[in-house]
Amino acid sequence: MLTKRIIPCLDVTLDRAGGCVVKGVEFVDLKEAGDPVELAKRYNEEGADELVFLDITASAHGRKTMIDVIERTADEVFIPLTIGGGINSIDAIRQILRAGADKVSVNTSAVKNPDFIKESSDIFGAQCIVTAIDCKRNTDIKNNPDKTILELEDGTPAWYEVVIYGGREATGIDAVQWARRAEELGSGEILLTSMDRDGTCAGYDLPITKKLSEELDIPIIASGGVGNPQHIYEGFSIGKADAALAASIFHFREYSIKEVKEYLREKEIPVRL
């Protein structure tokens, strides 16, 4: 049986010092969480299976991803490193992989130009291309008969709308349909983040996580809302995700990666200790 992956996420913004890890709630109200290189080094030592590094303001500010921070991070970690944020060209992917990344995460650029997924996958291989999908619940089902309607925890019917530019712009695109298309175009994984749950510590958005995990053949990384190890367990057992991404509980030392993995092992979730 394949082991489930635990992936700390470093949301990074550019500052005068060159880069700072931040954490917010529903993509806003950001607060500083530390130096990206130091945090990456700590997670590598603690037993993280992978790291995701997201330059969360690159697309919105129209700038390139921070190559220097990536290089310094790659020098300190020996586990797979996925980089995302502002990646919109083959040349950018090549630079990031050369800087030490193992995978790239594309989001806004892929929504704007879906063929970018296929082109990237054809050149670098599907294993290098992660499609990040940020989505938000939309309960207006009356005017959206073509959308994939799911039942929320309280029984409310809703569809999930793709948002881009760090949650600043709604697209009208159905997240389930977009995920299927990303897989068809050659994406190797989906990084699914629920904007409604981001930073809330209320647990993953299980209806959309479960739907994508059941619908797609490629791995689904659950993201957004972890407040304790039980939430990660639910992401695997109910959401059927292949990997669990978390930020706050690790950044602020509420739980260590080892504690989370030991909890999951006790719950009979296969993890690498």
Beta strands in the chain (DSSP E): 5-13, 20-25, 28-34, 51-55, 81-84, 103-106, 129-138, 150-151, 157-164, 169-174, 189-194, 220-223, 243-246
**What's the N-to-C CA distance of the chain in angstroms?**
15
Domain edges within the chain: 5-267
pLDDT tens digits, 101-136: 999 999 999 999 999 999 999 999 999 999 999 999
pLDDT in tens, 207-241: 999 999 999 999 999 999 999 999 999 999 999 99
Indicate if the alpha-carbon torsion angle 156, 159, 161, 166 is positive or negative.
positive
Catalytic residues: 11, 134
How many other C-beta atoms lie within 10 A of the C-beta of residue 142? 7
Whole-number average pLDDT of the chain: 89
Q: List the structure tokens of 229.
A: 């190890």
Pairwise CA distance, residues 212 & 136, whole Å: 15
Strand bridging mode 220-223 / 5-13: unpaired
Identity of the residue numbered 74:
A
Alpha carbon distance 25, 10 (integer Å): 15
pLDDT above 90 coverage of the chain, percent: 72
**Cα(164)–Cα(149) distance, rounded to whole angstroms?**
21
The CA-based angle 269-271-273, given to 5 degrees, is 135
55: its two tokens: 């330059």
The whole-number pLDDT of residue 19 equals 55
Query: How many other C-beta atoms can be found within 10 angstroms of the C-beta atom of residue 60?
Result: 16
Could you tell me which CATH number the domain at 5-267 has?
3.20.20.70
